[in-house]
Structure 1
Amino acid sequence: MNVQILQWGLFSFMLGLILSLPLAAVHYQSSPQWTKIFTNPRKLKSAHLDFFTQAFAAAFVYLLEYAQHAAFPLYIIVPLIFGTVCNPLLLLIEATPIHRRGSGRILYLLLRSVSPVALLFAWASIAWVVLPASLILLLSAFVLAGAILILRYRRKG
């Protein structure tokens, strides 16, 4: 089993807990010191919740490994761990003015281009490995229907 998944999931969970403090200061107390740092409270709340969501997802992957009595290969685990932490980190960066200039902007643009793709790749690979063919076909049909809807409404707009 990849215990690293649980470790990074716990790390993500702890970051979500830590973010509850500035979240309370920004949302409920309107603390000027914190509102200078976190200029977008909505993104701060999203980051807080996404760290929890990613922690749950990491635990879910570990349970899948446990149920199968086999570890996922590293080409799945590495992008999964990267996305588990970096995807919510994107929201946290967006909650501050850091993403607007300098090296913070470069880091933000790099993470924005790589992190969601890594997470999507990891979850698609997990689905491919774990799901039976009938559910993969159903999932593919759902994705295809969504793509058709997007294209249809894109043409109208």
Structure 2
Amino acid sequence: MNIQLLQWGLVSFTIGLILSLPLAAVYYDNSPPWAKIFNNPRKLKSAHTDFFMQAFAAGFVYLLEWAAKSEFPLFIVIPLIFGTICNPLILLIEATSLYRSGFAAIFYRFLKSTSPVSLLFAWLAISVYFLPLYLMLFLLLLVLTGLLIIWSCKRKVITEA
């Protein structure tokens, strides 16, 4: 089993717990020093929640491995771990004004372009690895329905303009 999934899940969970302190300072204490650092409290709250969700996801994947009595290949585990930490980190950086300039802006753009894609790849690979054909077809049908709805709405907006 990939114990790294549990370890990084624990790191993500701990970061989520630590973020509850500035979150409380910004939301409940209206602390000016914390409000200067985290000028977008909504993104701070999203980052706090997303760290918890990613910790749960890493634990869920570990349980999938354990139940199947097999180990995921590293090409699935590494993007999953990368996305588990970096995806909520995007929201945390957006909670500050750091993402607008300097090295943090470059780092932010790098994370924004790689982290969601790595998570999407990892979860699609896990789905292909585990799901039977009829559930994969169901997921494909849901995705196609969503794309059709988006296309229909975009077409409607373009014709109205």
TM-score, reference length from structure 2? 0.97
Matched, 1:113 2:113: yes
CA distances 1:96-118 after superposition (whole Å, capped 9, x unpaired): 00001111111001100000000
Q: Percent identity?
A: 62
Instruction: Please list every run of at least 4 consecutive aligned residues from structure 1 whose deviation after the TM superposition is greater than 2 angstroms.
Output: none
Amino acid at match of 1:45: K
Aligned equivalent of 1:100: 100
Comparing 147-156 and 86-95, the one that deviates more: 147-156
- Alpha-carbon distance between aligned partners in 1 of 2:49 and 2:154, rounded to the nearest angstrom: 30
Give me the whole-angstrom Cα distance separating, in 1, the residues matched to 2:27 and 2:130: 41
Q: Report how far residue 156 of structure 1 moved.
A: 1.3
Which residue type is aligned with residue 8 of structure 2? Answer: W
Structure 2 portions without partners, runs of 5+: none
Please show how residues 8-157 of structure 1 align to structure 2 within 5 Å: 8-157=8-157
CA distance in 2, matches of 1:139, 1:101: 40
Q: Within 1, Cα distance between the matches of 2:57 and 2:33?
A: 33
Which residue identity lines up with residue 116 of structure 1 in the other structure?
A: P
Structure 1 position 154, deviation (Å): 1.0
**TM-score of the aligned structures, taking structure 1 as reference length:** 0.99
1:36 and 1:155 map into 2 onto residues whose CA distance is: 42
Give the Å deviation of 1:155.
Answer: 1.3
Give unmatched runs, 5+ long, in structure 1: none
Query: 1:94 Cα deviation (Å)?
Result: 0.1
Question: For each residue in 1:27-46, what CA deviation from the matched residue of structure 2 results, as whole angstroms up to 9, or x when unmatched?
Answer: 00110010000000000000
Matched residue count: 157
Q: Root-mean-square deviation (CA), in Å?
A: 0.4
C-alpha separation in 2, matches of 1:82 and 1:97: 23
